[in-house]
Structure 1
């Protein structure tokens, strides 16, 4: 053994004594170059998890110009389709009518139309260190991470919104009177991205993670968590004028809302969970913002917007964007800011297998009850740990095509007689699936060569090193147990695939 290897072993031994096994697992999972020193760049991921992402230029107070322009926003909503709930019907699994009372009674927006000062939308403007197309930043930073856990469930009234939360709270209150701007689970808050710029305007794409409390005392809490609120705002750089505003819950997936409710008043009470489909929840500006009063050059009032009357009509100049990216690309920038695991591209089920066939790669497929990349998720722990670790990201990008799919969507594909090839691939996956999340390695033809259930995976990674059957050793490098277990799962999948691929 060379002197450098001896020194490395001695350092690892000293680290084990100083930090303990769990501490050294965490340290070495960050130590990408294995030199037993953490550079600022290596420490950055853990710093952001401990302190939350940076949010430059956060304004505690957002004021409005009383003489400025106003924007009229209108709300539309179609209630949740109760038949889309996968397991909760009255009298089934102990679900009572009172549990769902708040959900059943919520049929329309709380406020169908509301007027906001245009200057309030300055909360969506980029901070001083952002200004290029594609730049992202936290409008409302997330305060939760895998170390802090989650916020309590046994609450009815949201906390008083502050700073940039105020406008978002007011907008979401048009749907329901009890919005929680910061959700119980990470990642919370809101992220924005510059989609386009002109000499005077920005087009800002944003995404918000928020939820509603539907029940009131004496009924127990019922949490209604849309997968995400997304949209865009086109506003002047000085925030005096808003050309357009749009906020909505995406409805392009078969399930897009998570629901959780307690069967008691305390945090330790039993909780039921279900997922459903919300056809529409949308806010849209009625038109560009307009002033309440128009003055001539001498300061005389020449036109006034009457209370409840027709707005003053203007002809607005066309905006000429000097730089822009697509709405989809901006949304991806936002998504990666929320979810670092999306540094790997996750394709749809059919796209993944088409790509795998063309590139002769295996498919890393995740089948789950709720979406992996929004708040209607049944794989939170997975996406916040192993799927965003550097070694796993590297192996997935190098050797796999990745995909995640809702169980319901695969069931629909399996029943599709118009596409028997895809139907067969869906059947092969469903055959290996167990609730709630199944991770699989599959051949381009859909054959699953290796798989592991998320619950079994978590059981394996929760074992202490001294409980493992293998002796404790530094010989192969050192990683946290979840990362090393997932890497082993993927590598075993690559190995097992050889049996099928060899002639």
Structure 2
């Protein structure tokens, strides 16, 4: 038996010395080759699938252009939000509403359950339309301007909803998160989703997406001005930021800033984007959002140009876009007074007074608010600016003061000349 084993070992050594490999070694080589082929084939297969999909998409695009024409395809694309070249019933709804004139009630997603017996706040909207003579470039027949291009702008002369009532609890959207309750703290009410890497949102849109969560209140407020507000602007920074200006045991005074825009045109006209430099204001509300003492939202008018306007005059976004800026004298919402309850109950839950449509309003006397901690409105506004634009951490000085500071600190002067403003959306 031992002799047989020795003989097999000698035969194996002899085989290896003559350059022959064992069968298991050969099968390992075969498996390795097949693995390499499979690994190499995967990206090649993915390339051909992508090539085929792109070719099919191009073919469908060419067929669409032949069928609809360039402008028809543009309108189709503005409705085709998922870019699958098919219109779902939801995507076709704006056209159906346009053709029938019937707009069903919108069921927005709310994050606040309203108390039917809670307090209500009445807001009034005021507006002075854009001064057309402040548009420095745009006249009829010049620079892609036609009567239809500016039709939405020219017809927007007053608020869509002059007065509206809101539940005080809706303004809970402005309350700070639990870790941001100190004076001077800032937070994102509506976070920005755009940056230099994500680019910007498309221009060929007419109807804003349905708002969700805290966007619902902002959408409702801005809808008092115009029926088509876009809460998330096309360009960064988008969203809304708030800062606690003052606080005591029961109330916050919160300063806020919102970057949003309006779509003034509707089909068949090409889109016209109206982008105020910013919306800002403040709200004084109880920490449980059951009572709103004061609310004010407005577009600042202290600069000679405070609105950016961009519109298309053809189906191509890249080559048929025109831009101008102008001056908007007034666009603001103001509370008519503190929020008030519709009924007053005694300690046993019995109604002792109520407010109805035909009776006299309930008379209330509100106590003065004394702040235990506060900062200036100017400082709170600066913190909002730094949150939106980090470059605002640097001190910017008027031209006449810059050279004195430079001489005192032995530094150079960096001068910036702008047509518009660098720290808002009007430029």
> 1:193·1:333 contact (CA, 8 Å) conserved in 2?
yes
Q: CA deviation at 1:304?
A: 1.7
Measure, in 1, the Cα distance between the counterparts of 2:317 and 2:137. 23
The structure that has the greater radius of gyration is: 2
Q: Distance in 1 between matches of 2:308 and 2:408?
A: 36
Partner of residue 295, structure 1 = 345
Distance 1:145 1:121, change over 3 A: same
Tell me which residue corresponds to 1:233. 283
Separation (CA, whole Å) in 1 of partners of 2:294 and 2:420: 32
- CA contact 1:263–1:269 (8 Å) conserved in 2: no
- Does 2:194 correspond to 1:144? yes
Q: Supply the distance in 2 between the matched residues of 1:255 and 1:314 (Cα, whole angstroms).
A: 42
Asked whether the 8 Å contact 2:120–2:166 carries over to 1, the reply is yes
Q: TM-score, normalised by structure 1?
A: 0.61
* Pair 1:64 & 2:110 matched: no
Aligned to 2:363: 313
Structure 2 residue aligned with 1:162: 212
**1:30-69 correspondence to structure 2 within 5 Å:** 61-69=111-119
Distance apart, 1:356 and its partner CA: 4.0
CA distance in 1, matches of 2:121, 2:403: 46
Q: 1:358 to 1:69 in 2, by over 3 A?
A: same
- Aligned mates of 2:358, 2:300 — CA distance in 1: 31
C-alpha displacement of 1:308: 7.1
Q: For residues 120 and 197 of structure 1, what CA distance do their matches in structure 2 show?
A: 20
Counting matched residue pairs gives: 319
- Matches of 2:288 and 2:322 in 1, distance apart? 47
1:213-232 residue pairs with structure 2 within 5 A?
A: 213-232=263-282
Structure 1 gaps, min length 5:
1-58, 378-503
| CA distance, structure 2, for counterparts of residue 307 and residue 358 of structure 1 | 67
Rounded Cα–Cα distance in structure 1 between residues aligned with 2:403 and 2:359: 56
Task: Please give the secondary structure, in 2, of the residue aligned with 1:362.
Answer: coil
Q: Which residue of 1 aligns with 2:253?
A: 203
Task: Extract unaligned runs of 5+ from structure 2.
Answer: 1-108
Equivalent residues in 2 for 1:216-295 (5 A)? Answer: 216-295=266-345
Alignment of 1:363-382 (within 5 A): 363-377=413-427
The answer as to whether partners of 1:205 and 1:232 remain within 8 angstroms in 2 is yes
In structure 2, the CA distance between the partners of 1:300 and 1:99, relative to structure 1 (3 Å rule), is: same
Cα shift readout 1:223-246 (whole Å, capped 9, x = no counterpart)? 000000000000000000000000
Structure 2 residue 132 is the aligned partner of structure 1 residue 82: yes
* Structure 2 counterpart of 1:401: none
Give the TM-score normalised by structure 2.
0.72
- Residue 300 (structure 1) shift: 2.5
Q: Are 1:112 and 2:162 counterparts?
A: yes
Does residue 324 in structure 1 map to residue 374 in structure 2?
yes
Cα contact 1:205–1:233 (8 A) shared by 2: yes
How far residue 345 of structure 1 moved from its aligned partner, in angstroms, is: 1.6
C-alpha contact (below 8 Å) 1:62/1:164 kept by paired residues? no
